[in-house]
């Protein structure tokens, strides 16, 4: 499922806590974004149409919940980025960050730990 950057910001609010009514979503987002209420409601409606969220009637309001799981979305986004920019290969991605000075000593230690863990599993 493809969701826009703006829609993903709304999803983050719902991934953090669901269900929530529109007023709660608007309150959270208005602190973080310079968005007006109609913009947020439009984004909620787009997400509803895509099936990323669902709405359940609660009296006179709707309560919104995430249907799309964050892990599934992150996996999809990661795979798309990796495929588009690095031919689906992880090593060139890591090399890119290394060559551009984007890996801290902490990052390198974590990568080594992950690789050692993979070696131990096989």
**Dihedral pair phi/psi, residue 55, rounded to 5°:** -125, 130
Tokens 């000075």 belong to residue: 101
In angstroms, the CA 69 to CA 11 distance is 9
Q: For the chain, what is the total number of helices (H) and then of strands (E)?
A: 6, 3
Three-class SS state of 119 = helix
What does the pLDDT read at residue 78? Answer: 94
**pTM (two decimals):** 0.81
What does the pLDDT read at residue 49? Answer: 98
**Dihedral pair phi/psi, residue 24, rounded to 5°:** -70, -40
What does the pLDDT read at residue 71? Answer: 97
Q: Which domains are delineated in the chain?
A: 5-66 (1.10.10.10), 70-121 (1.10.4040.10)
pLDDT tens column, 61-109? 999 999 999 999 999 999 999 999 999 999 999 999 889 888 899 999 9
**Dihedral pair phi/psi, residue 4, rounded to 5°:** -75, 170
H/E stretch holding 110 reads: helix 105-121
In this structure, are residues 110 and 117 in contact, taking their beta carbons and an 8 Å threshold?
no
Structure tokens at 72: 């599934």
Structure tokens at 109: 């230690």
What average pLDDT does the segment 43-63 reach?
97
């Amino acid at each position: 499922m493809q969701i826009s950057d703006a829609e993903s910001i709304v999803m983050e609010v719902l991934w953090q806590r669901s269900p929530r009514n529109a007023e709660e979503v608007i309150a959270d987002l208005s602190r973080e974004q310079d968005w007006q209420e109609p913009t947020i409601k439009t984004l909620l409606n787009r997400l509803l149409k895509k099936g990323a969220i669902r709405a359940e009637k609660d009296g006179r309001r709707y309560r919104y919940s995430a249907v799309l799981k964050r892990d599934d979305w992150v996996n999809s986004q990661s795979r798309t980025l990796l495929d588009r920019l690095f031919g689906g290969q992880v090593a060139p991605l890591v090399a890119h960050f290394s060559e551009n000075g984007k890996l801290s000593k902490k990052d390198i230690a974590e990568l080594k730990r992950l690789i050692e863990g993979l070696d131990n599993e096989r």
